[in-house]
Amino acid sequence: MSNNVAQIFGSKVFNLPTMKERLPKETYKSLVKTINDGTKLDISVAEVVAHAMKDWAIENGCTHYTHWFQPMTGLTAEKHDSFIQPTDDRTVIMEFSGKELVMGEPDASSFPSGGLRATFEARGYTAWDPTSFAFIKDNSLYIPTSFVSYSGEVLDKKTPLLRSEAAIDKAAKKVLALFGKHPKRVVAYVGPEQEYFLVDKKLRNKRKDLLLTGRTLFGAKPAKGQEMDDHYFGQIKERVANFMKEVDEELWKLGVFAKTKHNEVAPAQHEIAPVFSTTNISTDHNQLTMEILKKVADHHGLYCLLHEKPYEGINGSGKHNNWSIGTSDGELLLRPGKKPEENVQFLLFLAAVIKAIDDYADILRASVATAGNDHRLGANEAPPAIISMYLGDQLAAVVDRLKKHKDVKSATGDLIETGVDSLPDIERDTTDRNRTSPFAFTGNRFEFRAPGSRQSIAGINIVINTIVAETLTEIADELEGSKNIQKDAFELAVKIFSEHDRIIFNGNGYSDEWIEEAERRGLYNLKTTPDALPHFVAQKSIDLFTKQGVFTEVEVKTRGEIMMEDYNNTVHFEMLTMLEMAKQEILPACLKYTNFVAEDYSSKKALGIDAPKELERVKKLTELTEELMTKIDALDAATDIPDVDAYAVGMYYKETVLPAMDTLRETADTLETMVSKEFWPFPTYTDLLYLV
Ligand code: ADP
Ligand code: MG
């Protein structure tokens, strides 16, 4: 089957060729217009589309359809209805109306609404997103939808993402108009590189922590870690290769442009990346990718760990968010032009991104704040929690020179224009890499490296789209009515470069010097989720999102609350799981093993054999086991959560619970290195990382 990828690609998708084949010409035309231009769809068109979709789905084995949506949990949700419709003679016919395609009413009550439901009568309904194609999975027709409440509050991640796309479209077009360009649309793109770990399913099931929390809460370092660097881009093991092959095929059938796959830095860690598409479609596809990775792993006796930090001391998993903007005419706006005049426009868009990241670094940081990602950011393997930007040596040099020109200008008057003429060709420079930077320019896009592997990319791209829309709007306003756009735009870009200099950092982001330097520069260093999330709900953030029409004030607040609660629930659950493992598995094992050594010692002593080292072992084991019990009691005491608001509870988890968990783990991990493997209650790091 895989021989002909072109043939299987999109075979389970109601895509353009299928629509063209199955829809009347006029219907097809108006649907395509809706998809491309965002025009409103007529219900009579929806009726025809629904009919064709149903026939196609049934021919392909479907019995059900579902409105597929993305609640604020960051996961996807679905409720399946069959196509059956009873008839008078008590048989059924298969039906699917335009109304059923366009709108659905899932029971919204068990999805998080961050208090929205209390404030409003928030029954939810789902609304078809025709820009993301319907597809078939497990004998159901999946219809991508938005999810909103009857009073209009957004209950999902897709709706605000679409709004943020509209915001950037509007703002970028305003800027382009100044240059005499009038593309139909400006689109935000993303190509997410998805990292993940594979683990043998049977071994994973023996560990309560992996089973319940997705990460190991205990585990001594393996003898062979990742220091050998022999895994990155290394040969792919057969079982893994077979898994990857099936993943690709499944994704291709679903119309996902799965492109690149390779081993990552850590043992048993891998990556899959698609060809980029719009932020909306890429988000849907990334959700599908995560789901397919899990599902296919199961077919191969494997389990796919999407957690940001499944193993302590081993690299975590991120999701590099390669972001750019381009016009419907195919012009990438963050690609340096061939001629200096084109470069003025490029420099202006570049300036907009730089200003956006500097002005809203705290909100961008908050968009990647999760309990899982806290273990990764700043851990000398992922970018630091400090947001900064890397431009590459060449572009940084250009920007630097321009800033200096500007300084000269005040003295001599007209150097700016000369500046435009003397702008060098800025070549695409993709070899230039700085893996320690959270937001790096890579030739025609920016790579945001802070997102966590398990996160939906919706929230991240809502923020990037919105902050860049905001700075583009400001730029367009400032340049409105310009008589000499080349000169004025250039001047403004250079001014922005100078004013936002502090966000550019081309050095080593992992170094301690950078932490100090960043502090001197006045950059944020929001180390953890409880530090970061208050910034998401601050007035500055509310002003931004309301101005750009992406969230209302209530929506910003509820989202912040939901993210905070997610953090709190995650840590809470980890704490309980840890206690259970420590009390029911680790402690008994330590007691048993200590007794085993003690008895061995006693019998030797009875025979008159001197075994001082063994006695020392018994003492050491006893001492550590006592310590383990003390720390279990301390963590037990910490389970008494103060009755305060979510943000204060978050601080409690950070300041009281997590340190208690860390120290309990430390003792348990030391014991693991001393206790016989026979007695140890669950698979070790070596088993998990190397038996894949
Ligand atoms: P690397 O690991 O070297 O950074 P990959 O090939 O693994 O690169 O992934 C790069 C990702 O960036 C891919 O998903 C690719 O489609 C995406 N990408 C390339 N160009 C753009 C662009 N202009 N806008 C958004 N994403 C892009
Ligand atoms: Mg890559």
Q: pLDDT by residue (tens digit) across 190-229?
A: 999 999 999 999 999 999 999 999 999 999 998 877 766 6
pLDDT band for position 393 (cuts 50, 70, 90): confident
pLDDT band for position 150 (cuts 50, 70, 90): confident
**In this predicted model, which residue has the larger pLDDT, 107 or 631?**
631
Average confidence (pLDDT) over 683-690: 95
Domain with CATH 3.30.590.10 in the chain: 164-415+426-567
Which residues make Cβ contacts (< 8 Å) with residue 538, sequence separation at least 6? 362
Which residues make Cβ contacts (< 8 Å) with residue 202, sequence separation at least 6? 301
Average confidence (pLDDT) over 516-526: 96
pLDDT band for position 42 (cuts 50, 70, 90): confident
Cα(271) to ligand 2 centroid in Å equals: 7
Share of the chain above pLDDT 90, in %: 79
Which residues make Cβ contacts (< 8 Å) with residue 655, sequence separation at least 6? none
Cα separation, 197 vs 264, in Å, equals: 9
Instruction: Please give the pLDDT value at position 397.
Output: 81
Q: Does the pLDDT at position 339 exceed 50?
A: yes
CB of 578 closer than 8 Å to CB of 586: no
Share of the chain above pLDDT 70, in %: 92
What residue's CA is closest to ligand 1, atom 2?
A: 193
Instruction: Please give the pLDDT value at position 417.
Output: 40
**In this predicted model, which residue has the larger pLDDT, 265 or 431?**
265
Identity of the residue numbered 465? N
Largest Cα–Cα distance in the chain?
A: 103
Cα(189) to ligand 1 centroid in Å equals: 10
> Architecture of domain 568-690 in CATH?
Up-down Bundle (1.20)
Tell me, using a 6 A CB cutoff, whether residue 190 lines ligand 1.
Answer: yes
Cα(276) to ligand 1 centroid in Å equals: 7
Q: Could you tell which of 168, 276, 441 is best to mutate to test the pocket of ligand 1, judged by most ligand atoms within 8 Å of the CB?
A: 276
SS (H, E, C) 599-653: HHHHHHHHCCCCCHHHHHHHHHHHHHHHHHHHHHHHHHHHCCCCCCCHHHHHHHH
pLDDT band for position 395 (cuts 50, 70, 90): confident
Domain with CATH 1.20.120.1560 in the chain: 568-690
The predicted-structure confidence for 157-197, as pLDDT tens digits, reads as follows: 999 999 999 999 999 999 999 999 999 999 999 999 999 99
In this structure, which topology does domain 5-155 adopt according to CATH?
Ubiquitin-like (UB roll) (3.10.20)
Tell me, using a 6 A CB cutoff, whether residue 441 lines ligand 1.
Answer: no
Identity of the residue numbered 448? F
Smallest-distance ligand from the CA of 286: 1
Fill in the DSSP letter of residue 501: G
Q: Which atom of ligand 1 is nearest to the CA of 276?
A: 16
Instruction: Please give the pLDDT value at position 265.
Output: 82
Q: Does the pLDDT at position 415 exceed 50?
A: no
Q: Which atom of ligand 1 is nearest to the CA of 430?
A: 3
Cα(191) to ligand 1 centroid in Å equals: 5
Smallest-distance ligand from the CA of 445: 1
pLDDT band for position 111 (cuts 50, 70, 90): confident
Average confidence (pLDDT) over 385-390: 95
Instruction: Please give the pLDDT value at position 245.
Output: 96
Smallest-distance ligand from the CA of 325: 1
pLDDT band for position 424 (cuts 50, 70, 90): low
pLDDT band for position 416 (cuts 50, 70, 90): very low
Tell me, using a 6 A CB cutoff, whether residue 445 lines ligand 1.
Answer: yes
pLDDT band for position 17 (cuts 50, 70, 90): very high
Average confidence (pLDDT) over 107-120: 64
CB of 118 closer than 8 Å to CB of 151: no
Q: Could you tell which of 194, 445, 447, 457 is best to mutate to test the pocket of ligand 1, judged by most ligand atoms within 8 Å of the CB?
A: 445
Cα(275) to ligand 1 centroid in Å equals: 7
Cα(192) to ligand 1 centroid in Å equals: 7
Tell me, using a 6 A CB cutoff, whether residue 32 lines ligand 1.
Answer: no
Tell me, using a 6 A CB cutoff, whether residue 60 lines ligand 1.
Answer: no
What are the CA-CA distances from residue 538 to residues 86, 366, 417, 553, 650 (Å)? 53, 11, 41, 10, 17
Q: Which atom of ligand 1 is nearest to the CA of 192?
A: 14
**In this predicted model, which residue has the larger pLDDT, 399 or 410?**
399
Instruction: Please give the pLDDT value at position 558.
Output: 92
Q: Which atom of ligand 1 is nearest to the CA of 275?
A: 16
Average confidence (pLDDT) over 467-492: 96
Tell me, using a 6 A CB cutoff, whether residue 448 lines ligand 1.
Answer: no
The predicted-structure confidence for 598-622, as pLDDT tens digits, reads as follows: 999 999 999 999 999 999 999 999 9
Tell me, using a 6 A CB cutoff, whether residue 434 lines ligand 1.
Answer: no
Tell me, using a 6 A CB cutoff, whether residue 160 lines ligand 1.
Answer: no
Instruction: Please give the pLDDT value at position 425.
Output: 55
Instruction: Please give the pLDDT value at position 406.
Output: 53
Fill in the DSSP letter of residue 83: -
Instruction: Please give the pLDDT value at position 470.
Output: 98
Q: Does the pLDDT at position 90 exceed 50?
A: yes
Q: Which atom of ligand 1 is nearest to the CA of 273?
A: 14
Cα separation, 329 vs 56, in Å, equals: 32
**In this predicted model, which residue has the larger pLDDT, 624 or 393?**
624
Instruction: Please give the pLDDT value at position 362.
Output: 98
Q: Does the pLDDT at position 431 exceed 50?
A: no
Instruction: Please give the pLDDT value at position 411.
Output: 36
Q: Which atom of ligand 1 is nearest to the CA of 335?
A: 23
Cα(324) to ligand 1 centroid in Å equals: 10
Average confidence (pLDDT) over 127-148: 95
Q: What b/e readout covers 111-122, taking b as 16+ CB neighbours within 10 angstroms?
A: bbbbebbeeeeb
Taking all residues of the chain, what is their mean pLDDT, rounded to a whole number? 91
Cα separation, 204 vs 207, in Å, equals: 5
Average confidence (pLDDT) over 488-493: 94
Weakest-pLDDT range from 271-280, 388-397, 509-518, 671-680: 388-397
What residue's CA is closest to ligand 1, atom 13?
A: 191
- Count of CA atoms in the C-beta half-sphere (13 A) of 114: 24
Weakest-pLDDT range from 13-27, 280-294, 505-519, 612-626: 505-519
Superfamily of chain region 164-415+426-567: Glutamine synthetase/guanido kinase, catalytic domain (3.30.590.10)
What are the CA-CA distances from residue 414 to residues 36, 345, 411, 639 (Å)? 44, 20, 9, 68
Specify which residues 84 forms β-bridges with.
94
Q: Could you tell which of 260, 271, 322 is best to mutate to test the pocket of ligand 1, judged by most ligand atoms within 8 Å of the CB?
A: 322
Weakest-pLDDT range from 34-43, 65-74, 430-439, 643-652: 430-439
Instruction: Please give the pLDDT value at position 409.
Output: 40
Average confidence (pLDDT) over 57-76: 94
Instruction: Please give the pLDDT value at position 120.
Output: 47
Q: Does the pLDDT at position 281 exceed 90?
A: yes
Tell me, using a 6 A CB cutoff, whether residue 274 lines ligand 1.
Answer: yes
Tell me, using a 6 A CB cutoff, whether residue 272 lines ligand 1.
Answer: no
Tell me, using a 6 A CB cutoff, whether residue 36 lines ligand 1.
Answer: no
**In this predicted model, which residue has the larger pLDDT, 383 or 421?**
383
Domain with CATH 3.10.20.70 in the chain: 5-155
Instruction: Please give the pLDDT value at position 167.
Output: 98
Smallest-distance ligand from the CA of 260: 1
Instruction: Please give the pLDDT value at position 535.
Output: 98
Count of all residues that appear for the chain in the document: 692
Weakest-pLDDT range from 1-5, 295-299, 475-479: 1-5
Q: Does the pLDDT at position 12 exceed 90?
A: yes
CB of 690 closer than 8 Å to CB of 267: yes
Weakest-pLDDT range from 92-106, 431-445, 467-481, 648-662: 431-445
Smallest-distance ligand from the CA of 258: 1
Predicted TM-score of the model (pTM): 0.94
Average confidence (pLDDT) over 527-533: 97
Tell me, using a 6 A CB cutoff, whether residue 449 lines ligand 1.
Answer: no
Instruction: Please give the pLDDT value at position 229.
Output: 64
Q: Which atom of ligand 1 is nearest to the CA of 191?
A: 14
Instruction: Please give the pLDDT value at position 216.
Output: 98
